[in-house]
């Protein structure tokens, strides 16, 4: 907020803004050579990641600029062998669900002057999801699913990015 001059508002938008990361793993072999064998039942990995970012700039006379962005990442892995030479055998059901939501709101107001809001430079709102049933990891891995096994994956991403710029008197408003 400023009475005259420039009012600029933003979050940490150089690296994707406000950031949230969520990871869920049903079974993790960890580093090293692993042998993982499931018998029956269900292995479930559910993860939800949400971010929200708001940026507001107000000036009496001059320039008002606002930029808000957020990045939300959700990763769900049923069985993860990780590093090493792994043997992964699934005789069961694997369910992997990843949900990610990201929202950014930018508002700028100039009573007399110019107002600009929205996505500037590397500022954006982004939702990413990754759902994996079985991941071998690095090195040489053996992955086997038997006739009695099943893998169900669900990956949902939602984004909302809103920008409002208001200039009461000339010269202009950009949104």
pLDDT in the model for residue 2: 66
Q: How far, in Å, CA of 55 to CA of 65, rounded?
A: 9
Q: Is the pTM of this model over 0.75?
A: yes
**CB-CB contact of 86 with 27 (8 Å):** no
Residue 131, C-beta contacts closer than 8 angstroms, at least 6 positions apart: 76, 96, 97, 98, 153, 154, 155
Each residue's pLDDT expressed in tens, for the chain with a length of 175 residues: 667 667 777 765 556 678 899 999 999 988 889 999 998 899 999 999 999 988 888 888 888 888 888 899 999 999 999 898 999 999 999 999 999 999 988 888 888 888 888 766 556 888 999 999 999 888 889 999 998 899 999 999 999 988 888 888 765 555 5
pLDDT in the model for residue 129: 96
pLDDT in the model for residue 36: 92
124 CB-side CA count, 13 A? 5
pLDDT in the model for residue 121: 53
pLDDT in the model for residue 14: 57
């Amino acid at each position: 907020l400023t009475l005259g001059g420039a009012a600029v508002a933003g979050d940490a938008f150089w690296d994707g803004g406000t950031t949230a990361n969520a990871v869920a793993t049903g079974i993790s072999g960890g580093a090293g050579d692993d042998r993982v064998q499931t018998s029956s039942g269900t292995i479930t990995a559910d993860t939800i990641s949400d971010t929200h970012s708001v940026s507001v700039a107000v000036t009496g006379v001059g320039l008002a600029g606002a930029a808000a962005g957020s990045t939300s990442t959700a990763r769900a892995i049923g069985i993860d062998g990780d590093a090493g030479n792994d043997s992964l055998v699934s005789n069961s059901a694997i369910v992997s669900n990843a949900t990610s939501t990201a929202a950014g709101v930018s508002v700028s107001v100039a009573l007399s002057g110019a107002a600009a809001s929205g996505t500037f430079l590397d500022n954006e709102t982004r939702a990413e999801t990754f759902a994996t049933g079985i991941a071998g990891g690095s090195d040489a891995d053996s992955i086997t699913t038997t006739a009695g096994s099943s893998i169900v994956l669900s990956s949902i991403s939602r984004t909302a990015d809103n920008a409002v710029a208001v200039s009461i008197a000339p010269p202009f408003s950009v949104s």
